[in-house]
Amino acid sequence: MGEEVWIAFLLTLMAGLATGIGSLIAFFTSTTNTKFLSWALGFSAGVMIFISFVEIFPKALEALTNGSGVETGKWLTVLSFFCGMLLIAIIDRFVPNEKNPHEVKKVEDMNRSLREVHKQQPDLLKMGTFTALAIAIHNFPEGIATFASALHDPTLGIAIAIAVAIHNIPEGIAVSVPVYFATGSRKKAFKLSFLSGLAEPLGAVVAFLFLMPYLNEMMFGFIFAAVAGIMVFISLDELLPAAREYDEGHSTIYGVVFGMAIMAVSIILFM
């Protein structure tokens, strides 16, 4: 495998394992820094939205118009964009609301007495397990998106991997809190959180095995347009609502604007 493939794999692995960081935060801090989480989630959304519309969508449009003509290319780009949205929306529809991986959790939830939730332990374990499964399902297409983007443009891949990693951190908390509560074991909670993040690099492996032989300009165009749709949907449906739940003051919007500004500067300087 070439160096660019290894870089794409490493970036995808880094993004996926950020769920473990969320788990560690839950174990080794006593309170949730809600202001920082709100800002960080807003930052991630800002990066994803800006890069989707300013960098990824135009790249997809260029690739598809080069391969199929201007008019056809425009329609294929728009169709692929909304197919990406539809894919992630369908995944969300199959995840029950009460098991949604983006349900806001706080570290403080770890500090409730075990006696207080003794009767809830089976439900909590089930909730934590389903949350981990839901996160794994969500992370799979994100892994494909990160891998394909990094393979085509490593600089773009780094930006996407960082944004995905940030939004995976609270997901790690969402898995760890109920599992720890149900079992009393930090090790089991961390393990389940860690494993849920491995769906990201698994998506990269699937992309490598099944998409690599077909990765021509047209295929990159389809993938990039779908990636843009996936990231915009995640930002609007998951990141920003979660950020508002954690929000203190205007932390979310400050994070969004700063994320967009960072991406704008990086595009000017590096892309």
The DSSP letter of residue 103 is S
Q: Annotation-wise, does 167 bind a ligand?
A: yes
Read off the tokens for 78: 């728009």
Give phi and psi for 116, each to the nearest 5.
-60, -30
SS3 content of the chain, % helix, strand, coil (to 5): 90, 0, 10
Among residues 8, 44, 52, the alpha carbon closest in space to that of 262 is found at 44
Give strand ranges (E) for 31-175.
none
CA atoms within 13 A on the CB side of 201: 18
34-51 vs 154-183: helix crossing angle, rounded to 10: 140
Q: Annotation-wise, does 138 bind a ligand?
A: no
Q: Annotation-wise, does 97 bind a ligand?
A: no
Read off the tokens for 21: 């960081």
Q: Annotation-wise, does 142 bind a ligand?
A: yes
Inter-residue contact 66 to 219 (CB < 8 Å): no
Inter-residue contact 51 to 224 (CB < 8 Å): no
Residue-by-residue DSSP string for 112-148: S-GGGGGGGHHHHHHHHHHHHHHHHHHHHHHHHHHHH
Q: Annotation-wise, does 139 bind a ligand?
A: yes
The residue with tokens 């993938």 is: 223
**Distance spanning both ends of the chain, measured CA to CA:** 24
Query: Which amino acid is it at 70?
Result: V
Q: Which residues are annotated as a binding site for Zn(2+)?
A: 142, 167, 171
Q: Which residues are annotated as a binding site for Fe(2+)?
A: 139, 142, 168, 171, 200
Q: Which residues are annotated as a binding site?
A: 139, 142, 167-168, 171, 200
